[in-house]
Amino acid sequence: MRGVLVDFDWSEIILDLRRAGMGQNEIAREMGHAVGEAMVRQYLAGASPAHWRGEMLLKIWERRTGQPRDKAPRRPAEMHRATTARRPRQRPAALMPTEHLPAVAQAYGITVPALLQMLAKQKPAGRADAGRNLSLPGFEE
């Protein structure tokens, strides 16, 4: 398939191994317990293995069918794109350790949920606005 991105057809590879007399349990066993029988069923249903597991499957396929790797069944590759915008991951390291929350909340006379809400609303420290005067305590005008 020239000009088309292709991938191995894992379900067809599993079917070829079954036609060669191997059961799903035997395929899993020959992979050296890298996968279980349930994972072989998932490949049969269309799942793609991790690269190293795919390499193991291809070696078994070559050995059992007697065909070279370039003759292994292929299909057009599926391209996946994220359909929804991802919410940025909140970094708990930027917040204080959770064991300090009750003490800090008590010091400010607020509840822990109110403190967490305040911390979540804080904007990250960045550059100061050009038109804004900053002063340090003791150096006010």
What CATH fold (topology level) applies to the domain 6-76? 434 Repressor (Amino-terminal Domain) (1.10.260)
* Encoded tokens for 113: 């949920």
How far is 22 from 36, CA to CA, in rounded Å? 14
Task: Delimit the CATH 1.10.260.40 region(s) of the chain.
Answer: 6-76
* Cα separation, 30 vs 27, whole angstroms: 5
Phi/psi at 107 (5° precision): -60, -35
Residue with tokens 């070279």: 68
User: Per residue in 43-58, pLDDT tens?
Assistant: 988 888 988 889 999 9
**What is this structure's pTM?**
0.54
Q: Are 44 and 11 in contact (CB under 8 A)?
A: yes
| Beta carbons within 8 Å of 108's beta carbon, 6+ residues apart | 115
Q: What is the pLDDT along the chain (141 residues), one digit of tens a residue?
A: 466 788 899 999 999 999 999 998 899 899 886 788 889 899 988 888 988 889 999 999 999 999 999 999 998 887 666 666 777 766 554 556 677 788 888 888 899 888 888 887 765 555 555 555 555 566 565
